[in-house]
Chains A and B, each alone.
Chain A
């Protein structure tokens, strides 16, 4: 049974041009650097960015909500204040019924006194009127004297007050008899089965002034409109009383907020309906003002996050750079090391072959001595030989041939021993195999009865290899095969193309290997050969060379029958 051990390729290393090291390797490392940097950046930036965005979103929506809530509560508190203000005015009026100065047909003196009392409570009261249930103003005090004895029975406010159950009424802004914008507050009281009415007026300017005093927030503008959208109390920049506002308030919500855009600015508008009247209190604040602090905070946070991002990006870039240059150095050193190892193995193989080489050189030397001896004999008078110049010429030809045989061997040896710079050449592997086998090895093996059988596929594509390095691999395998054979034997060398790979198989009919040997053959310095005959580096360096080309070496062996080494090399796309 054949045992099989496969060399392991830890990573299908990308084919690295050891020849054009500066271009190929640099390109490889440039790509690696880019991939690593982008990968790390993505690994960092994606979660960081997501988190930042999420945080920003959450933060801004919380701030947004807070800003809106703040404005709504501001509008509610102002609404309450205005409600309270109106209630107080109503109570002020009711209070007059119980004053000592009050009687059912007041003269101007009494009315003056009552107005003075009112104004002591609040200075916004403009005037004071006293009406019977027929709508005749029977008492008046204030700046509009013509209103005395005026008949109000057809006035809207009077009719509302008299028909409604509630005993007070506050009007929207109107002009009335005095032809001046004002609000009327009127209260009624049943005295001796007859209603009596006390009314007073407020001016919008003073009302606006009051709104201003309760509004302490910066950039906030407060105003009042009625349920039909008519301005009641409004600042001069926004509008004038009686004008219609841009939108009608929503009666169904007691208070709410909305955003409008005007001239590119966003304005927050909070609404709160009053309880005492059909008015709504509106608080407006430009978004920029409302969120001013939020924007500042956001800017600081964004700046910080960006700084952190830049810092980490810098760290990633710096670290990757450092890492890559380490890797590049290491890879360069590894290549140099391999080169030195290849050369060492080469020299070792020459050492291993020295006996064979000596034999190959001594044979022609023996011919030279013997043949020169023959010529010397021609001239030796002792032997009295007859000779012609042709005889001498023939012997000289033999001499010449022997000398060139030696020369061929020494030049092959020199070729082989030369330390070549790494280079990539687009080569035919069959050709390299022949270069290795023809010459020294085949002659050496022939005398020990080892035959070579070549089963080449002549259609295998050329690939880019370092002929020196791959040649050394072939040399190692063939030498090993030769060493494994005792006595006559055969080394079969097969090349073929299979599944995108070129396969070179060296099979011998030698002694084969045990499982223990098989496990160790790729370990450096392991050797089964005698001391001085093998360094134990051949297969290790061979595997190293083949793996650097992205290939593998597979071994099959059977004790007593022989071994088979199969090199698989990828047919690179680059070819």
Chain B
């Protein structure tokens, strides 16, 4: 079973292409277009890593992140954003975001970050 990844971004073309790339790299990918759908998805099934866009119409990345963490505190969130509002992402890091990555992204870098996040999840959630 591959790592379960949730992609959240309002750019449809972007998450479609990103999904394709991640799928051929054996990730289990779910893609949604906004914060509310992301929260709904997290409520329905469990994910290992969430790639979350910061600037979205409706709920923005930070708000979405906070709600997701309430539902599933173990999920690892990587903030994904264009250059703008980087300060928001950094603030997010302080409040429990695992990592951030700036668009445009190299697929290998992203894969590496997802794997690290997944490792982090398995370490932090492994029963002692």
Q: Do A and B come from one complex?
A: yes
**Contact (Cβ within 8 A) A402 B13:** yes
For the complex, give the distance between the alpha carbons of A298 and B103 in Å. Answer: 98
Q: Give A402 to B103 CA distance when docked, in angstroms.
A: 14
CB distance A362 to B104 under 8 Å?
yes
User: A385 CA to B24 CA in the complex, in Å?
Assistant: 8
Q: Does B30 lie at the interface of the complex (its beta carbon under 8 Å from any beta carbon of A)? A: no
Which residues of B have CB within 8 Å of A356?
Answer: 84
> Does B90 have its Cβ within 8 Å of any Cβ on chain A?
no
B106 within 8 A of A: yes
A365 at the B interface (CB under 8 A): yes
Q: A419-462, CB under 8 A of B: which get 1 and which 0?
A: 00000000000000000000000000011110000000000000
Q: Is A360 an interface residue, CB under 8 A from the partner?
A: yes
Tell me whether A366 and B21 are in contact in the complex, defined as CB-CB below 8 angstroms, given that A446-B57, A449-B57 are known contacts: no
Task: Report the separation of the CA atoms of residues A363 and B11 in the bound assembly, to the nearest whole angstrom.
Answer: 8
Chain A residues closer than 8 Å to B18, beta-carbon distance: 370
Beta-carbon contacts under 8 Å, B27-74 to A: 55-58, 60
Q: Does A119 contact B (CB under 8 A)?
A: no
- Would B84 and A358 count as touching, CB distance under 8 A? yes
Which of A358, A365, A374 is in CB contact (< 8 Å) with B20?
Answer: A374
CB atoms of A359 and B85 under 8 A apart = yes
Q: B17 near A398 (CB under 8 angstroms)?
A: yes
Beta-carbon contact of B82 and A363 below 8 Å: yes
Residues from chain A with Cβ under 8 Å of B107 in the complex: 369-370, 373
Most buried by A among B14, B17, B58, B85: B17
Cβ of B3 within 8 Å of any chain A Cβ, yes or no, is: no
A142 to chain B, nearest CB (A): 145
Minimum CB distance partner of B103 in chain A: A366
B21, B83, B103: the one within 8 Å of A355 (CB): B83
Q: Is the CB of B57 within 8 A of A395?
A: no
Partner of B13, one of A358, A360, A365, A401: A401
Partner of B17, one of A358, A365, A374, A446: A374
Whether A371 sits at the interface, judged by CB under 8 Å, is yes
Q: How far is the CA of A205 from the CA of B24 in the complex (A)?
A: 155
Question: In the complex the two chains form, is B14's CB within 8 Å of A447's CB?
Answer: no
Within the complex, which residue of A367, A383, A395 is in contact with B11, where a contact is CB–CB below 8 Å? Answer: A367
The residue in chain B whose Cβ has the minimal distance to the Cβ of A357 is: B84
Interface check B93, CB cutoff 8 A: no
Q: Are B104 and A370 in contact (CB under 8 A)?
A: yes
Given known A383-B24, A385-B24, A447-B57, contact A367–B85 (CB-CB < 8 A): no
Give the chain B neighbours of A371 by CB distance below 8 A. Answer: 13, 17
Cβ of B116 within 8 Å of any chain A Cβ, yes or no, is no
A369: which B residues are within 8 A, CB to CB? 104-107
Interface SS majority for chain A: helix
Contact of A362 among B17, B20, B56, B102 (CB under 8 A): B102
A250 at the interface (CB under 8 A from B): no
Contact B82 A367 (CB under 8 A): no
- Cβ of A368 < 8 Å from any Cβ of B? yes
- B21 near A373: Cβ-Cβ < 8 Å: yes
Q: How far is the CA of A370 from the CA of B58 in the complex (A)?
A: 24
* CB-defined contacts of B10 to chain A, threshold 8 Å: 447
Residues of A with C-beta under 8 A to B84: 355-356, 358-359
How far does the alpha carbon of A432 sit from the alpha carbon of B93 in the complex, in Å? 42
Residue A329 at the chain B interface, CB threshold 8 Å: no
Q: Size of chain B's interface in residues, with CB distance under 8 A?
A: 27
Residues of A within 8 A of B11 (CB): 363, 366-367
Chain B residues contacting A362 (CB-CB under 8 Å) are 82-83, 102-104
- CA distance in complex: A150, B25 (Å): 178
A368: B residues at CB distance < 8 A:
104
| Residue among B21, B56, B83 making CB contact with A370, cutoff 8 Å | B21
Q: Is the CB of B13 within 8 A of A398?
A: yes
A35 to chain B, nearest CB (A): 56
Q: Do residues A377 and B103 form an inter-chain contact, with CB atoms below 8 A?
A: no
Assess A358 versus B82: contact at CB under 8 Å? Given A366-B105, A367-B11, A401-B13: yes
The docked-state distance in angstroms from the alpha carbon of A398 to that of B13 is: 7
CA–CA, A401 and B12, complex, Å: 13
Cα A366 to Cα B18 in complex, Å, equals 9
Q: How far in angstroms is the closest Cβ of chain B from A549? A: 35
Return A381 CB to nearest CB of chain B, in Å.
12
**How many whole Å from A365's CB to the nearest CB in chain B?**
4
* Residues on B with beta carbons closer than 8 Å to the beta carbon of A365: 103-104
B77-106 Cβ-contact flags toward A at 8 Å (1 or 0):
000011111000000000000000011111
The answer to whether B14 touches A448 (Cβ under 8 A) is: no
- Tell me, in angstroms, the Cα distance from A359 to B84 when the chains sit together: 5
Task: Write out the residue numbers on chain B whose beta carbons fall within 8 Å of the beta carbon of A446.
Answer: 57
With A359-B55, A362-B103 given, is the CB distance from A367 to B83 under 8 Å? no
> Would you call B17 and A373 a contact (CB within 8 A)?
yes
Pair A355/B85 contact, Cβ less than 8 Å? yes
The chain A residue sitting closest to B16, CB to CB, is A398
The answer to whether A370 and B82 touch across the interface, beta carbons within 8 angstroms, is no
CA distance A356 to B55 in the complex (A): 10
Residues of A within 8 A of B20 (CB): 374, 377
**Closest chain B CB from A359 CB (angstroms):** 3
**Complex Cα–Cα for A494 and B30 (A):** 43
A487: nearest residue on chain B (CB-CB)?
A: B60
Max chain A C-beta neighbours (<10 A), residue from B11, B81, B82: B82
Given known pairs A363-B11, A367-B17, A449-B57, the reply for A358 and B104 (CB within 8 Å) is no
Decide: A359 and B83 in contact? CB cutoff 8 A. yes
CB neighbours (8 Å) of A401 from chain B are: 13
Interface residues of B (CB under 8 A from A): 10-11, 13-14, 16-18, 20-21, 24-25, 55-58, 60, 81-85, 102-107
Point out residues on A near B: beta carbons under 8 Å: 355-356, 358-363, 365-371, 373-374, 377, 380, 383, 385, 395, 398, 401-402, 446-449
User: Can you list 18 A-B contacts with CB-CB less than 8 angstroms, sorted by A residue number?
Assistant: A355-B83, A358-B84, A359-B82, A361-B82, A362-B104, A363-B103, A365-B103, A366-B14, A366-B82, A367-B13, A369-B106, A370-B14, A370-B18, A370-B104, A374-B20, A385-B24, A398-B16, A398-B17
